[in-house]
Amino acid sequence: MKQLESQYEKILSDYMFDQSEKNLYIAQNFTRQLIQKNISPEDVVNIHKNAVGKIFPDRVGEDQPAYDFLIEVMVHYGMAHREHQSLLQIQAEYEMEMKIATNIQKTLLKTVVPQLSSIDIGMISIPFRKMNGDYVHFLHDREDYLSVAVTDVVGKGVPAALCMSMVKYGLETLEYAYKDPSYVLEVINRVIEKGVDDSMFVSMFYGCLDIQNSIFSYASAGHEPALHYSAKQGKFFSLEAKGLLLGVLSESKYSYNEIFLEDKDIVVMMTDGVTEFRSREDLNSREIITSLIVENKHVSAQQLCNILYKQIEKILDFKLSDDFTVVIIKN
Amino acid sequence: MTFKSSVEIITEWDIVAARQLGRDEAKALGFGIVDQARITTAISELARNIYLYARVGVIEVEKVETDVEKKIVVIATDQGPGIKDVRQVIEDGYSTSGGLGAGLPGVNRLMDSMVIQSVVGEGTTIRAEKRLR
Ligand SMILES: Nc1ncnc2c1ncn2[C@@H]1O[C@H](COP(=O)(O)OP(=O)(O)OP(=O)(O)O)[C@@H](O)[C@H]1O
Ligand SMILES: [Mg+2]
């Protein structure tokens, strides 16, 4: 402190005798030091007061009470300043924890896309913030069936990720029941309804492909409808299905639906982050998505996912406002 | 050697008397002008809390001078409603003035240490100390 005081006195007296920009610049650089050393505002006023007292000894009587008054005022600024610093530190700790949580989520909720010889599968899931509120789960224990659950938690961040872990656990315990989409949704709905607090809801589209018979059965819990592209007809069909969001009512029922997939048909499942163009509500997102699919129907399912993401990101001027997830199955 | 004096907090003006007492004692003990202001501000916060939340109480100021140290001890006592969650009130950002850095976390920082003892329905005692360096 003593050293800072004498430095300050020197800088101030230089300025009193030559009011140049250079001397002000020196003062400014000195301020950096003060802040770095955590000198609080009231101490700075005191340093100033003492320096003025030394430079103008004859004026001490007049000025000093005014400085004492200012010190009193600055004590409160000092408190606010220190609180601010401690909050910054707390924030850094939170960010650290958040980073760890994000990594845990990445490991825990890692989606493994099955590689099949007969069917081409692609997937992309890009979180809007650090934590992904979307989750995709594939089940392919038996050669003849492929199931996929595309989910979106209403809510973001850590609570959403925790809820998602439960969904994953629920799906993993289904074992051989996974073939009936409406039954799957009923079970997962009960898990969420019991286990998660009332403000947490999950939408899910569950599809199951009977590979040998090319029958795609599906059910939906308040989820964005999937799209079915019929190669033969060159037309899209919306795979709508009735059902409440998971976690709302314990006894919700979900309708069972099925379609027949012909050669080169495409099924596109997605979350509302893909279809809701919040920044560009003037655009018709479904039209854009369907025409992107038609234009690129010959590329692999994974490439098609990537193209959808890149193109939509571009159309929205890189201002996506939600987690973005697409799963594509090409027969 | 310990020298103790106190001010009863009954009206808002007693906060001023408590401040005056604290400043005088801090000065007598040899605290500089900035620390005098800090100690006074801490007393002010404690007295204001008594006035606001407990209606009445006492601020005691102790001057402690031994061979090894000189310190000032401020003790705020009341028989008010007490504080339910002591841990929470010393957290930054909790006070109703939020973000002004004032209140009990502020007291904790202005002084060297602060200990809160409080029983809901019985009252609160807060002891804060600052050593002369
Ligand atoms: N003596 C007391 N008796 C009962 N409750 C108290 C007492 N002192 C503080 N409290 C409780 O602790 C809380 C926090 O007090 P603190 O002084 O930190 O903040 P505040 O008084 O709410 O706001 P300010 O920043 O304006 O002081 C108060 O809101 C009050 O509920
Ligand atoms: Mg207060």
Cα(B125)–Cα(A31) distance, integer angstroms: 40
Name the phi and psi angles at A329, rounded to 5.
-120, 125
DSSP state of A223: P
Q: Mutation test of ligand 1: which of B45, B89, B118 has the most ligand atoms closer than 8 Å to its C-beta?
A: B89
Is there a contact between A71 and B37 if contact means CB atoms under 8 Å apart?
A: yes
Cα(A249)–Cα(A192) distance, integer angstroms: 10
Helices (H), chain B: 13-29, 33-49, 86-89, 103-110
Cα(A157)–Cα(A150) distance, integer angstroms: 18
Decide if pLDDT at A54 tops 90.
yes
Q: Which residue has the tokens 């240490």?
A: B113
Looking at beta carbons, which residues of chain B come within 8 Å of A90?
92
| Minimal-distance CA residue of chain A relative to B92 | A83
Is there a contact between B100 and A46 if contact means CB atoms under 8 Å apart?
A: no
Whether pTM exceeds 0.90:
no
Per the prediction, chain B carries an average pLDDT of 93
For residue B124 and ligand 1, the question of a CB distance below 6 A is answered with yes
Query: Average pLDDT, stretch A68-90?
Result: 91
Give CATH superfamily name and number for B2-131: Histidine kinase-like ATPase, C-terminal domain (3.30.565.10)
The whole-number pLDDT of residue A33 equals 93
Confidence band of A282 (pLDDT split at 50, 70, 90): confident
Tell me the per-residue pLDDT of B31-77, one tens digit each, with 9 for 90 and over.
Answer: 999 999 999 999 999 999 999 999 999 999 999 999 999 999 999 99
Q: Does B44 touch chain A (CB under 8 A)?
A: no
Distance from CA of A268 to the nearest CA of B (A): 48
ipTM of the complex: 0.88
Judge contact between A137 and A148, C-beta under 8 A.
yes
Tell me the per-residue pLDDT of A99-156, one tens digit each, with 9 for 90 and over.
Answer: 888 888 888 888 999 998 889 999 999 988 877 889 999 998 788 899 999 999 887 7
Interface test with A, best of B33, B39, B97 (most A CBs within 10 A): B33
DSSP state of A82: H
For residue B126 and ligand 1, the question of a CB distance below 6 A is answered with no
- Cβ-based neighbours of A235, under 8 Å, separated by 6 or more: A229
The whole-number pLDDT of residue A279 equals 75
For residue B97 and ligand 1, the question of a CB distance below 6 A is answered with yes
Looking at beta carbons, which residues of chain B come within 8 Å of A89?
none
Q: Does B123 touch chain A (CB under 8 A)?
A: no
Tell me the per-residue pLDDT of A208-242, one tens digit each, with 9 for 90 and over.
Answer: 999 999 999 999 999 999 999 999 999 999 999 99
Decide if pLDDT at A18 tops 80.
yes
Name the β-bridge partners of A121: A329
How many C-beta atoms surround the C-beta of residue A206 within 10 A? 30
Q: Which residue has the tokens 């009587």?
A: A61
Domains within chain A, CATH numbers bracketed: 2-102 (1.10.1240.30), 113-330 (3.60.40.10)
Atom of ligand 1 nearest to the CA of B50: 1
* R_g (Cα) of chain B, nearest Å: 14
Q: Which residues surround ligand 2, an ion (CB under 5 A)?
A: B 49, 103
Is there a contact between B102 and A42 if contact means CB atoms under 8 Å apart?
A: no
Query: Which of B40, B101, B110 minimises the CB distance to A80?
Result: B101
**Domain spans in chain B, listed from the N-terminal domain onward:** 2-131
The whole-number pLDDT of residue B99 equals 61
